Homo-oligomer: A and B are copies of this chain.
Amino acid sequence: MKIHVVESVLKANDAVAAAIRRTLQQAGLLALNLMSGPGSGKTTLLEKTIPLLGPRHPCGVLVGDLQTTRDAERLGDLAVHTTQINTGTGCHLSATQVAEALAGLDLQSLAFLFIENVGNMVCPAAFDLGEHRKVVLLSVPEGDDKVAKYYTLFQQADVILLTKVDLLGVLDFRVDRVREDLARLNTRAPLIPLSAKTGEGIDEWLAWLHAQRAAIVAG
């Protein structure tokens, strides 16, 4: 009974996600679903990324959190459009929430749409939001053992950003251990070591973004 209902919730979500994907395809933008644990640096990454993409690549942002508008306030001046979605007790964004947020948006004017999911390494992995690409962040302070533990998330990633690498000298973290786990789970997604503080990896991340957008727009 429980499983049956969960399945039907997922099916209903996937149907809405498919409709979102069709809408986004026509708009000619790249939509990214950013997923990670709490405090791995999703908002900080966007604060850094959006100005570097520049006015020729206008960005829209949807930000999910249980409560507060703190992330939307941080991004409000940078993005062309920012919507905070408060989930209350919800542990992930759903396609329906994204569809409602997109309804009011001029998608044709955007080059990138960043969807910052609720900070959670488990539940967001189960819900397609109609995005083109899934971006998964793992921060150095979270530890090098997380890929295998939260395998459902890392399996789906189109790119994995290892954030806060400026802390590699301070913390006991073995990047090779992450690479070993990824070699078993996901050999498709590149791993980009990155620091919003020092700027390391930002160029590689921007190049990845532009390449993905070119592929979608050509598509």
User: Measured between C-beta atoms, what is the minimum distance from A19 to chain B in Å?
Assistant: 20
Are A123 and B91 in contact (CB-based, < 8 A)? yes
Least Cβ–Cβ distance between A205 and chain B, in angstroms: 20
Interface centre among A1, A142, A152, A167 (most CB of B within 10 A): A142
A152 → chain B closest CB, angstroms: 6
Determine whether the beta carbon of B170 is less than 8 Å from that of A39.
Answer: no
Contact call B146/A39, Cβ cutoff below 8 A? yes
A5 to B38, CA, bound (A): 28
Q: How far is the CB of A113 from chain B (nearest CB, A)?
A: 22
Number of chain A interface residues as a range: 35 or more
Tell me which residues across on chain B come within 8 A of A150, comparing CB atoms.
38, 66, 119
The secondary-structure label for the interface of chain A is loop
A37 at the B interface (CB under 8 A): yes
Q: How far is the CA of A39 from the CA of B173 in the complex (A)?
A: 12
* Cβ-closest chain B residue relative to A170: B170
- Minimum CB–CB distance from A169 to chain B (whole Å) comes to 10
Q: Contact residues of A with B, CB < 8 Å?
A: 1-2, 5, 9, 37-39, 65-68, 70, 89-91, 118-123, 126, 139, 141-143, 145-146, 148-152, 164, 167, 170
Given A5-B5, A141-B167; 6 other pairs, CB 8 A cutoff: A37-B38, A38-B121, A38-B143, A39-B141, A120-B120, A141-B164
A152 to B66, Cβ gap below 8 A?
Answer: yes
Given B65, B142, B170, which contacts A38 in the complex, CB threshold below 8 Å? Answer: B142
- Do A149 and B5 have beta carbons less than 8 Å apart? no
Query: What is the distance, in angstroms, from A37's C-beta to the closest C-beta of chain B?
Result: 4
Bound Cα distance from A71 to B39, whole angstroms: 22
Task: Kindly state the separation between the CA atoms of A89 and B152 in the bound complex, as whole angstroms.
Answer: 7
Partner of A123, one of B5, B9, B122, B164: B122
A143 with B67: in contact, given A5-B2, A91-B122 (CB under 8 Å)?
A: no
Instruction: Decide if A149 touches B119 in the complex (CB within 8 Å).
Output: yes
Q: How far is the CA of A89 from the CA of B119 in the complex (A)?
A: 16
4 closest cross-chain pairs (CB), A and B: A39-B142, A141-B141, A91-B122, A37-B38
